[in-house]
């Protein structure tokens, strides 16, 4: 994975944990999910396209 995708994935995991622990900050859960999906799509696109 590229360094940017790793950073996005780490931020997504942190936001998911924060959103799960703090009920009033439920929107962080959705932000984390969106960032995680973006990181996965970027990783798959990069690995399937063959460019490194």
Total domains in the chain come to 1
Query: Measured between alpha carbons, how far is residue 41 from residues 9, 10, 17, 33 in Å?
Result: 11, 15, 21, 12
pLDDT band at 50 (very low <50, low <70, confident <90, very high): confident
Report pLDDT for 43.
86
For 24-44, write each residue's pLDDT tens digit: 667 777 888 898 899 889 888
Q: Domain range holding 13?
A: 3-49
Cβ-contact 9, 32 below 8 angstroms: no
Report pLDDT for 13.
84
Kindly tell me the sign of the dihedral angle through the C-alpha atoms of 11, 15, 40, 42. negative
pLDDT reading at 49 higher than 80:
yes
């Amino acid at each position: 994975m590229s360094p940017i995708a790793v950073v996005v994935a780490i931020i997504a995991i942190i936001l998911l944990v924060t959103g799960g622990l703090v009920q009033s900050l439920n929107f962080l859960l959705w932000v984390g999910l969106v960032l995680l999906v973006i990181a996965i799509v970027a990783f798959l696109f990069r690995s399937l396209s063959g460019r490194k």
